[in-house]
């Protein structure tokens, strides 16, 4: 299941849609554009973290899973501009981009798993 907004050229993957829709199959009217915008932000953030994560791995001399845990912790900070479920998704996407194994903290979507629509721009 991937959704695309008329204004967006990038499909929103099912893994991201689940953060917003849960068991629903389709976004409510007007919700699709906001989800696509948040996905683009999160995808860009994951890509921007690639070099930082590689540098952390080299500079700190820790395991890949430790780097991902630290990045995830940083993404969960209030100033990061992410909901907890989005931070989880970004950290998992970073692992995918780097082809690194997932740490246990990223294995399952934490509760509450849905993004609070009232707080997300």
- Nearest CA to 74 out of 56, 62, 58 is that of 56
Rounded to an integer, what distance in angstroms lies between the CA atom of residue 82 and that of residue 44? Answer: 13
Of 21, 35, 13, which is closest to residue 96 (Cα–Cα)?
A: 13
Q: What is the pTM of this model?
A: 0.84
* More confident call, 35 vs 6: 35
Burial of 99 (0-12, 13-18, 19+ CB in 10 A): exposed
pLDDT for 118 beyond 50: no
Predicted confidence (pLDDT) per residue in 11-63, tens digit? 899 999 888 887 677 777 888 889 999 999 999 999 999 999 999 999 999 99
Q: What residue spans define the domains of the chain?
A: 34-106
Contact 92, 102 (CB under 8 A): yes
The DSSP code for 104 is: G
């Amino acid at each position: 299941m991937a959704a695309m907004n008329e204004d967006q050229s990038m499909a929103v993957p099912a893994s991201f849609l689940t953060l917003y829709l849960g068991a629903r199959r389709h976004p409510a009217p007007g919700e699709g554009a906001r989800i696509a915008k948040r996905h683009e932000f999160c995808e860009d953030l994951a890509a921007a973290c690639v070099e930082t994560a590689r540098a952390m791995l080299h500079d700190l001399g820790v395991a890949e899973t430790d780097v991902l845990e630290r990045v995830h912790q940083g993404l969960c900070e209030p100033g990061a501009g992410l909901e907890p479920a989005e931070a989880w998704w970004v950290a998992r996407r970073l692992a995918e981009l780097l082809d690194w194994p997932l740490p246990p903290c990223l294995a399952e979507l934490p509760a509450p798993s849905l993004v609070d629509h009232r707080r997300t721009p």
